Amino acid sequence: RTEDDAGHGGASGSGRRRQAGEKPFSEGDLLTGPASEHVPTLRLAQLGWLSHPFSVDRYLDQTACRSKLVVARILGGAAYWSYGLEQFSIRLRAAGVPFAALPGDDKPDEELFGYSTVPHADWDALLGYCVEGGPENAANLLRLTSHMLGRGARPPAARPLLRAGLY
């Protein structure tokens, strides 16, 4: 299962065209189109749903600690979701669940990587797919998560999209 804070930016999956410069993808991009072919089991949650410590603890108990992989995009960095990051890192590490805490923007964040348990190469690749966006990168993000779980070959690196234009 993969967790993504997709409530910030990106396309909604509603079929609308991306605007020039709008590139990050959302849960709609992951669940529709080419990306959806690579989703055996996927659960998405907005971090806003996990703003209270009780909701974080409950989500960890009922969902995240039973997952095979957790990916969280955190807009605003570690300070935005400090309790959640701390608990996800500690409890997922104890449960043996790989965890990638990614920034919600295009800037690598070593503090967030410090909460993660995945290798740096995988963390960088996941972030690259998120930053570049688009259907092909969304599909490759899911292929990479499958590869990280021992299924399938490692996909190619994120393919940059044009910085301007209609998508």
Q: Is 167 helix (H, G, I), strand (E, B) or coil?
A: coil
Residues in the chain, how many?
A: 167
What pLDDT was estimated at residue 20?
Answer: 42
Separation between Cα atoms, residue 2 and residue 153, nearest integer Å: 19
pLDDT of residue 131: 94
pLDDT(55) > 90: yes
Task: Answer whether residue 21 shows pLDDT above 50.
Answer: no
pTM above 0.85, yes or no: no
Q: What is the pLDDT of residue 4?
A: 38
Q: List, in order, residues 6 or more apart from 145 with CB less than 8 Å away.
A: 2, 69, 71, 126
Which residue's structure tokens are 């499958």?
A: 146
Average pLDDT value for the chain = 82
**What pLDDT is recorded for position 167?**
57
Backbone angles phi, psi at 81, to 5 degrees: -140, 50
pLDDT at 24 over 90: no
pLDDT tens per residue, range 106-142: 999 999 999 999 999 999 999 999 999 999 999 999 9
Count of C-beta atoms within a 10 Å radius of residue 78: 17
Residue 9 in this model has a pLDDT that exceeds 60 = no
Q: How far apart are CA 114 and CA 120, in angstroms?
A: 10
Token pair, residue 97, equals: 């669940």
